[in-house]
Homo-oligomer: A and B are copies of this chain.
Amino acid sequence: MSGKKINEITVLAPATVANVVCGFDILGFALDGLFDKMLIRKTSKKGVTIINKDDYNLPTQPSKNVIGAALLALLKAVPEEIGFIVESTKIIKPGSGIGSSAASAAGAVVGANHLLNNRFTKEQLVEFALCGEEVASGSKHADNIAPCIYGGITLIRSASPLDIIQIPSPKLYVTILHPQIEVKTSDAREILKKQILLKDAIIQWGNIAGLIAGLMKSDYDLIGRSLMDVIVEPVRSILIPHFDEVKTKSMAAGALGGGISGSGPSVFFLSKNEKTAKTVEKVITDVYKNIGINFHTHITTISKQGVKFI
């Protein structure tokens, strides 16, 4: 794609699920069919201009905007006197727990990089996008950013120095429940204990090791057995209405496993096939339609691709 002079591009940046039950802060995957849209234009005027084409009233001051902060970080590594104008159409609702801010940050830097003849590596793009993520959540967590840029399932083996590993996986269907309530990432982080029992940590790292092995062996049973979280879910799930009932019924309906997406409020379940994913959607809907909280559900798959161009 290099060499061709283009000054404008439209990107689709996917929603992502972080943590993935037993992979707190290290694992994430990209979702198919749930995208933010951004038109990115390279200009000869320095700096970043954000134009919101949606109703979320996000700040447009670049340093306070996820897209802006990510692009300002990228521009620091660009010697030319250039800037970007971004028209952002967010479809992934901010605060939904499926990587809305990561999609903005990742989509912007991948698009900008394309307009700069792909001079930066994916890893560099993650570093830039992290500066956007920081604006949204107060911390530089790459577990949404990485799958949004790389696609598929990604492991953050190490956050510092950044070490991103792509994990192959068999076809997996994802049922998403998005209760329309607010769970702030910073609050969800605040309620976690700073110290945990070694014996619980051993259970957790047995499960994350099992999950990686299950994904790489395409062993659905092992994936299912490994999708257990004895550390974060017991604390955070109280923030999500009827979590236990939703989970118990989804598992009974045949889901391999699932839990809180990122820091919530969205919840996800993995299934081996579309039929099961639909049954899971039905049982979740049956729980939620009676409790007086607005909600959306989605059925999708893990996307092999990250940010796309159109």
* B209 in contact with A157 (CB, 8 Å): yes
Partner of A216, one of B195, B211, B213: B213
CB distance from A247 to the nearest CB of B (A): 19
CB distance from A200 to the nearest CB of B (A): 9
Given contacts A163-B225, A213-B167, A225-B158, contact A198 B206 (CB under 8 A): no
Q: List 10 A-B contacts (CB under 8 A).
A: A22-B205, A23-B209, A25-B206, A155-B213, A157-B207, A158-B206, A158-B210, A158-B225, A201-B201, A209-B211
- Is A231 an interface residue when CB atoms closer than 8 A count as contact? yes
List chain B residues, Cβ under 8 A from A23: 205, 209
- Is A88 an interface residue when CB atoms closer than 8 A count as contact? no
Q: Taking CB as reference atom, which chain B residue is nearest A225?
A: B163
List chain B residues, Cβ under 8 A from A213: 155, 157, 165, 167, 212, 216
Q: Taking CB as reference atom, which chain B residue is nearest A156?
A: B206
Partner of A206, one of B26, B197, B211: B26
Could you tell me the distance between the alpha carbons of A267 and B55 in the complex, rounded to whole angstroms? 61
